[in-house]
Structure 1
């Protein structure tokens, strides 16, 4: 009876969360998106901002007007808000950045609090006449346990300002807290967060090879019910364009980077494989052809999303009171990846120590990627053909815990697939490299409370498509005269949560960009460009009536149009406050089967 009553209370909480907030939505006018000015050269993205709960808010500044002109870190301090209590329905990170007109590289930016990463992204490149500004938002409600106490933090944004690189980057950031109320209940946040960073102040860790590791050892609570790790793995240096790399034996012939084209983050607990995270092919605003990303950058370029790995089947191993080492590695890393993560745990409030077992783990020892080389160099030195790399991992992890609500079993089944096909044509007049890459995840998580309890199922599908074509045309003397480039890039996520055969929640996210440009050269230097054009389309919907649609169109480096509400009822964007329309990880009552 205790298990049944507990489940009923949680179903009631779920019903409250799903029904009441639908009357308090954020709506945008149809047709023209607000805040966008056609003809503007400033940053324009289709991504949604974080929906906000009803009621008042409290703002806590983290820093104001920091200037980033070197590679020193910028510390700040945080104290919890006053007058907002300690029960919050949502906490949102807001940050604003700018760079002065001039010449400057794109730079990696990250924000840290209590050693934990709360933001990771890159910056927009300026031009001689355009000083871009941009705004980012992140739902950081999962850090509520950390935010309950004073913390030290730092902003990391390395930059060079000298006679050549003149762009000065500046930024400000704040946290916005929304007190829980009857219409917006307290967030179902993890009870603790354990950062995987470079030290107590926080910072990414550099992994130069596939055997380098980010390892942290924790003594964790002994009553963990659920555990997740959010992973960031950003390719830099020789790995910035990792999706264009080929095996070492072909690197010289194909005039490309070595190390192959397969990258994947692996998660291990005490040396035992526990999960994998596909690496998203982020393209920075200076990547391939900088003009392609003005004024609309690539998917997530300014605001990366982490990939969340469910470690709940391993909770019984973590609950023994002994130290445990969590390790991240990047398969194929080739100088280098910047890596970090956050381990989130939910605890059983009715029992101090939980027992159980990991019952299944078929991930250990699975094979990595296979590469097929079909390139040919003829007698005249003309190179042509294809290099194809593929990897598929199908695995199953399962475990159980004896909790204060009864025995909880968790079963995670996943197929993680990767393909990268590259076509080359190289001769005296041209160099062409065409890339067709796709990473996908199909995941099913089943959770059951007690031998006869209702079972919940969460099905998730992720797809990360990338198509890119780089080309160089040469004159009779072998000098580059033009370079046409084209990129399409996407992020899709489909999530369905069921109670038995009943669908409780379903959501879909689709973020795609299509962009192209042609560089002109003279004497080995870029002299101009033509044909810049891009479109970004962002869609979010769910079975509760949520609908978000925005289309951004640009030409010749300026915004042509920004259109909202296409396909939505009455042409209006409608987002309940508790949704995650950006596709970020969510362990709230709507999307996580373990929340029962």
Structure 2
């Protein structure tokens, strides 16, 4: 049996990595784990309330309107302050389509969230919904006495059909204000629209969806419209019927993890916790997957990117550069077109979500994007093949007391092929997913040091063809590397030092072709931070955080890079720019007259990128 001192050391190590969403709960036992909200730096570095606010930001590729488009046409959708909003209904506002949408050919729609806050506050998760369909999932920045500013922009062009109809905007940001946590989030939500001078031709498979059906909870609520998944056996679902003239269907899934699973990738298995009498430490191991089911059958999975919120690990790492994905959480597409043959019967079908090994709590919902045939009263279809091999999960461990190692690996494959017949002809669609996962979770120095090395490897593809041609061919390969080191030292009574190192990133490659032509992109987004905090009575009384980020995007639609470093609210270095322009790469021009063969163009681009993409 481990000693009480050793158990306390591990509890502090894991407890400091606890929750964003649960911080909203008015419970002192939870508050003691949210050190970022209670941050007190030395007087020499603390700002005065009269100083200029600090601007926080997430490094991302700027959203630029297409060449030749006109705009923006901007509309303020909602303006509100979020103070004591935990457990209360979302803030709502009636939505009327902007006048400029009438008759215009939409080129780009951008949803902008801009906010400010002053004082002291936790990081809070929030969501934005239009008529029940989620448009944005995000985390707030943590304020300081002189105030902070931040904004988030998300491309919402794919929701064009939703934006063209009257509805209701709903925003849930569960915040708690008292004598200690004083920060109130003041928010403006704005929609910016850009339009084509003349609508470009597009094959029907690449046009925006004709209908978007939310798979979320309906108002009225005293929470967000997401489903809350609380454990490994919890399945949240919604029944709906889809139009009988649907010929394509894609699920867009929103996922975020909080409370005992905010840092699921650091969790030890339950048997380790029980063996060492570590009551209160999150468990169930370090593997999670979100499963998506239709009528009980698995149609796809999400192995999520490990978003670290603005109060996570060491809050000073994310000031003012926030963690990758924390201001604009990624979504995940699952093409369920192969299953349409089972869904075109005008009956209700059950769309459900679960999370393998889940602890309380995961927030999950989805938008179902549907393409409708205006010339058919009813489309028909059939599932040709379907394979969802059981997930292979292995956990090996070697321990002596609190010290040792867990090695976790997993893989899964999902694929489906089906045909749908409409006025566009008979189209056969294949969708596949292949996942790989490795996690090394090491404890040292009697449980006071934890080192996590993890890699998620996800591949997916969609292929749609008719009797004469390939209509759509798209493949995506994403790799999510993660390294987290945390160690406590100098513990005397209720005071100790926490040292942390975090490295995370996204390596993303996309390649697509079909009737519209060929496109390719590669993203390498790498973030590395290190710092230390002095903690006393669960308050951070001093600390240091430094973060470096390198972002590099290369594609047939242009390039962008940014190299930036910050230290304790101060930007030390920031260099960004366009490394190429559309139609060129590394100085090589691709002429449509000289390079008519699409496969040759594809091969040349890919080969050049493989030689030069490392950062």
Which range, TM-score by smaller chain?
0.7 to 0.9
Contact 2:82–2:175 (8 Å) recurs in 1: no
- Give the whole-Å Cα distance in 1 for the aligned partners of 2:196 and 2:537: 63
Partner secondary structure for residue 508 of structure 2: strand
- Give the whole-Å Cα distance in 2 for the aligned partners of 1:151 and 1:139: 19
Matches for 1:452-531 after TM superposition, within 5 Å: 452-454=468-470, 456-475=472-491, 480-499=495-514, 504-522=518-536, 525-530=539-544
- Give the whole-Å Cα distance in 2 for the aligned partners of 1:520 and 1:61: 43
Q: 1:98 aligns with which of 91, 116, 121?
A: 116
Work out whether 1:415 is the aligned partner of 2:427: no
Contact 2:489–2:496 (8 Å) recurs in 1: yes
TM-score when normalising by structure 2: 0.80
Q: 2:150 aligns with which of 114, 130, 134?
A: 134
- Give the whole-Å Cα distance in 2 for the aligned partners of 1:157 and 1:185: 40
- Is the alpha carbon distance of 1:367 and 1:547 closer, same or farther for their aligned partners in structure 2, counting shifts above 3 Å? closer
Q: 1:206 aligns with which of 228, 234, 246?
A: 228
Work out whether 1:315 is the aligned partner of 2:334: no
Partner secondary structure for residue 260 of structure 2: helix
Q: Write out per-residue CA displacement over residues 349-391 of structure 1, whole angstroms, 9 at most, x where no aligned residue.
A: 332211121111111x6135321122222xxxxx322112221
- Give the whole-Å Cα distance in 2 for the aligned partners of 1:192 and 1:569: 34
Partner secondary structure for residue 251 of structure 1: helix
Unaligned runs of 5+ in 2: 1-51, 587-601, 603-615
Work out whether 1:107 is the aligned partner of 2:124: yes
Q: Write out per-residue CA displacement over residues 428-486 of structure 1, whole angstroms, 9 at most, x where no aligned residue.
A: xx711001111121123222112x434643221011211111110144x5665311101
Q: Write out per-residue CA displacement over residues 552-575 of structure 1, whole angstroms, 9 at most, x where no aligned residue.
A: 2102331112211274479x999x
Work out whether 1:42 is the aligned partner of 2:59: no
- Is the alpha carbon distance of 1:257 and 1:547 closer, same or farther for their aligned partners in structure 2, counting shifts above 3 Å? same
Contact 1:418–1:439 (8 Å) recurs in 2: yes
Compute the displacement of 1:261 (Å). Answer: 1.1
Partner secondary structure for residue 342 of structure 2: helix
Compute the displacement of 1:508 (Å). Answer: 1.3
- Is the alpha carbon distance of 1:374 and 1:195 closer, same or farther for their aligned partners in structure 2, counting shifts above 3 Å? same
The alignment yields a C-alpha RMSD, in angstroms, of 2.6
Range moving further from structure 2, 164-173 or 193-202:
193-202
Matches for 1:215-226 after TM superposition, within 5 Å: 215-226=237-248
Partner secondary structure for residue 314 of structure 1: helix
Contact 2:129–2:135 (8 Å) recurs in 1: yes
Corresponding residue for 2:567? Answer: 555
- Give the whole-Å Cα distance in 2 for the aligned partners of 1:435 and 1:462: 20
Corresponding residue for 2:452? Answer: 435
Contact 1:41–1:558 (8 Å) recurs in 2: no
Matches for 1:169-208 after TM superposition, within 5 Å: 169-182=185-198, 188-200=207-219, 203-208=225-230
Contact 1:109–1:156 (8 Å) recurs in 2: yes
Corresponding residue for 2:256? Answer: 234
Corresponding residue for 1:579? Answer: none
- Is the alpha carbon distance of 1:559 and 1:113 closer, same or farther for their aligned partners in structure 2, counting shifts above 3 Å? same
TM-score when normalising by structure 1: 0.82
Partner secondary structure for residue 418 of structure 2: strand
- Give the whole-Å Cα distance in 1 for the aligned partners of 2:161 and 2:517: 31
How many residues align? The count is 521
- Give the whole-Å Cα distance in 2 for the aligned partners of 1:212 and 1:229: 20
Corresponding residue for 1:33? Answer: none
- Give the whole-Å Cα distance in 1 for the aligned partners of 2:494 and 2:77: 50
- Give the whole-Å Cα distance in 2 for the aligned partners of 1:42 and 1:140: 24
Corresponding residue for 2:391? Answer: 367
Contact 2:57–2:320 (8 Å) recurs in 1: yes
Compute the displacement of 1:69 (Å). Answer: 3.1
Unaligned runs of 5+ in 1: 1-38, 378-382, 575-589, 591-596
